[in-house]
Amino acid sequence: MAPKGKIEIDEELCKECGLCITVCRTDNIAFSSRLNSSGFHPASFKDNGKCTGCTLCAVMCPDGAIEVFRA
């Protein structure tokens, strides 16, 4: 089945706070090993096929780094 949702994270805005990771119920976000220009490991979308596009991660993100899409 095609995933119902997806997110895009602006890696430059991300500050590695981890709040999106704690609220995602489909375990779909993890820190990447890359560094952004501020020296943070930005969160990245795992795209494990289970994203529902629920928007919880984007609502929680203090830095407005997440956009959510739904089928």
Interface ranges with other proteins (CB under 8 A)? 5-6, 12-13, 15-19, 22-23, 38, 40, 53, 55-56, 58-60, 62-64, 66-71
Binding partner of 47, given ligand SF4, other proteins, none, CB within 5-8 angstroms per partner class: none
Strand-pair partners of 6: 69
For position 30 contacting ligand SF4 by CB under 6 A, the verdict is no
Cβ–Cβ under 8 Å, residues 4 and 53: yes
**CA-derived radius of gyration, the chain:** 11
Choose among 66, 8, 12, 10: nearest CA to 39.
12
Q: Residue 22 touches which of other proteins, ligand SF4, none (CB < 5 to 8 A by kind)?
A: other proteins
